[in-house]
Chain A
């Protein structure tokens, strides 16, 4: 079965640079979520999109922005990177309008800021 696809798997950036993470949800899923997971931490909700519109916002820094495109893929844009942004970034998708639709996570992008 198709899963959530994230790219790249690994990304190394320097401080103050920008990064773009991509996410391709499971086909026909209408909602995309972004989570940030620091080393040894639980996933923290950043932002979500339902049918290409931002549906909810969590602890996303102002330096970050995200959008969902017409083909339902989503991109997380991160600017003025800081050392503390080093983390695993997970994208997840679900069928919000579906009954009992769980959250499916991608394999994550490991961002290292040096």
Chain B
């Protein structure tokens, strides 16, 4: 089955700096890669996703890049703000949709003033 590794497990940045979270996956058939943000005690919320026919996608301060050859994808957050503090999960699926997602182990991002 799919295995998704995520690094780092914790990340502390100063407000205004950039944050990068990296994930690798094992199943070369995986073709859908969403990122979720989860605040303490709350539900995961989709912040951005990318499909295997695209190398990069951007939405305001958030961008995701995908390297299919290396089986690696990354989340980039620029101009970080305190409200970006949360746990971020990457995930992968080989169905092209959100079905049977395998999640990474999460990155706790702390944005300090």
Where the two chains meet, the residues of A that have a C-beta atom closer than 8 Å to any C-beta of B are 31, 33, 41-45, 48, 55-56, 58, 90, 92, 94, 96, 100-108
Q: Is the CB of B97 within 8 A of A43?
A: no
Chain A to chain B contacts (Cβ below 8 Å), 30 pairs: A33-B98, A41-B106, A42-B89, A42-B103, A42-B105, A43-B44, A43-B103, A44-B103, A45-B100, A45-B101, A45-B102, A48-B99, A48-B100, A55-B99, A56-B99, A58-B100, A90-B43, A90-B44, A94-B97, A94-B98, A96-B99, A102-B34, A102-B49, A103-B98, A103-B101, A104-B46, A105-B44, A105-B45, A106-B43, A108-B43
Where the two chains meet, the residues of B that have a C-beta atom closer than 8 Å to any C-beta of A are 34, 36, 42-46, 49, 51, 89, 97-106
Interface SS majority for chain B: loop
